[in-house]
Copies of this chain bind each other. A is one copy, B any other.
Amino acid sequence: MAKVYVVGLGPGADQQMTREAHAVIERCPVIVGYTVYVDLVKEQYPEKVFLTTPMTQEVKRCKMALEEAQNGRDTAMICSGDAGVYGMAGLMYETGKEYPDVDIKIVPGITAANGGAAVLGAPLMHDFAVISLSDLLTPWEKIERRIKAAAMADFVICLYNPSSKKRRDYLKKACEMMLEYKSPDTICGTVRNIGRDGEKSHIMTLGQLKDTEVDMFTTVFIGNEQTMEINGKMVTPRGYRNV
């Protein structure tokens, strides 16, 4: 029986794809994905079969991949970042219940938390929490509870989907909640278009972040008590200093 691979491409650039991801894409005769990502691969491999669906038809996209594998063709479903972080990995297993003979394998990729951190310097380093501000699939009360808990326990916090047209003030609201527990001087950073053309990063305080507008292509980092700015980089110490 053929396999379905759910492959994370890393953030944007081809350079942050792993060797395994590259090898799997090369090997599979069928590539499935959201149109934008498939177009990235199409140029390199004109001989493959490419199947796409638009942004919202995720279940359909999984079924397409599972059916190809059931028909004996190894299939790679490609996603940006890591398929296991706000990606398609979970849905593939859920949808896969109806295709018990198809083996599903996840090929990890660099997610925006790690890719963006590398651009800013070393903001994560220690314990951190990753939270999406999108309330499309999660009640806002739950997001709020997570923001407050993470801020209270002094986690470094990485926010995905910090904004959209319908939720312009969500980052501001999140900052206000974090300010109940974190100092306004807490070092924060934003990265837009990680690993792509026009990549741009900024370092600022939590007080400043509250009044900063970002878009959906931006990942936001809020430091812990110890996070500092060193020569324009955002750095959270691990504590090795005294070694």
Contacts and interface: CB of A to CB of B under 8 A. Distances in A.
Majority DSSP secondary structure for residues of A touching B:
mixed
B91 A237 contact: yes
Contacts of A239: 137-138
Contacts of A235: 90, 93-94
Contacts of A22: 19
Interface in A16-54: 16-20, 22-23
Contacts of A231: 93, 96-97, 100
Interface stretch (A70-78, A120-128, A168-176): A120-128
Nearest to A16: B18
A82 interface: yes
Interface size class of A (residues with CB under 8 A): 35 or more
Given A154-B142, A230-B93, A230-B94, A114 B117 contact: no
A121 B108 CA distance: 10
A107 interface: yes
Contact of A230 (B18, B82, B96, B238): B96
28 contacts: A16-B19, A57-B243, A59-B241, A59-B243, A82-B117, A84-B123, A85-B124, A86-B125, A89-B125, A90-B121, A90-B122, A90-B125, A91-B241, A92-B122, A93-B121, A94-B237, A96-B231, A97-B230, A100-B231, A104-B233, A107-B118, A114-B114, A127-B129, A128-B129, A137-B238, A145-B154, A150-B150, A150-B155
Given A89-B117, A145-B153, 20 more contacts: A10-B18, A15-B23, A17-B19, A18-B18, A59-B241, A59-B243, A82-B110, A84-B114, A84-B118, A86-B125, A91-B240, A93-B233, A94-B230, A94-B235, A109-B110, A110-B114, A127-B143, A149-B150, A149-B152, A150-B153
